Amino acid sequence: MKDSMKPLSRLETSSIPCTLNGQEISLNVPPAKRLLHILRDDLEMTGTKRSCDIGRCGACMVMVDGVPVNSCLTMAYQCSGKSITTIEGVSAGGMDPIQRAFLEEGGFQCGYCTPGMIISVKALLDHNPDPTPPEIEEALSGNICRCTGYGGIKRAVQKAIEWRREAYESESVHD
């Protein structure tokens, strides 16, 4: 059997190399285990939330190589060699301006959807710092909020865009 055809092991764990919030790690888990369960149960990183389990709510959103994916749909082997960012990683260097904007603009009530929302907004603004309203709507179309009616979330996104722009402009002035 060729090397490429060797299965990753079944009941025993396999070692899957990846980067988690900037740190190189090896996931010693069954290869089809879902990233959501690895994060919450094995690594005790509970910032990523669990709700529908089938990709419909966005509570479990993480970034893989800079783009948002639902960790309840992502299997461990799909993370091999990839860079994963969770909500814990977003705030590793202190509160992210996106998080502050959600706080200041009332972008949450119960807060259950918020980590997933923040991840989706971060993925959007990292790629497109000045999105149009339809682009924002599309980027957040996989994140469901049962509380806010989305008004506060939209304001928070606009505020985050403003703050990031101001920060960029003041950096450019100082350069």
Partner 1 sequence: MAANAQGVAEAPFVWHPATAAEAWQLKQTLGTEGVYTAGGTLLRTQWEAGLAAMPNHLINVGEIEELHGIHIDCESGTGTLGAMITLSDLRTSPLVHASFPLLTEAARSIAAPSIRNLATIGGNVLSLVGDSLPALLIYDPVLHWHDGSNGLQESLSEWLSTAAVHAAWRERLLIAIELTQPALDSNTKRFVAYHKVGRRDAFTPSVVTAALSVQLDSDNRLSDVRLALGGGQTIPHRLELVEQFLTGKIANKKTITEVYALVVEHYEPKGDAFVPVSYRKKAAANLIASELWKAVR
**x/- contact string, 13-52, with partner 1 (CB under 8 A)?**
-----------------xxxxx--x---x-----------
Asked if 106 is part of the footprint of ligand FES (rule: CB under 6 A), the reply reads: no
Terminal C-alpha separation, the chain: 57
> Contact at 8 Å (CB) between 167 and 117?
no
Question: What's the closest the beta carbon of residue 114 comes to ligand FES, in angstroms?
Answer: 6
Find the DSSP H helices in 10-132.
35-37, 87-90, 97-104, 114-127
Q: 1: Cβ–Cβ under 8 A, 6 or more apart, which residues?
A: none
Asked if 64 is part of the footprint of partner 1 (rule: CB under 8 A), the reply reads: yes
Residue 70 vs 85, nearer CB to ligand FAD: 70
> Distances from the Cα of 49 to the Cαs of 21, 27, 117, 158, in angstroms?
17, 20, 11, 24
Selected from 147, 155, 158, 163, the binder of ligand FES by CB under 6 A is 147
Question: What's the closest the beta carbon of residue 49 comes to ligand FES, in angstroms?
Answer: 7
Interaction site with ligand FAD (CB under 6 A): 54-56
The token duo for 43 is 């690594």
Asked if 165 is part of the footprint of ligand FES (rule: CB under 6 A), the reply reads: no
Binding piece for partner 1, criterion CB under 8 A, among 18-26, 71-79, 91-99, 157-165: 71-79
Asked if 58 is part of the footprint of ligand FES (rule: CB under 6 A), the reply reads: yes
Beta-strand ranges (E) seen in 21-171 are 23-29, 61-64, 67-70, 83-85
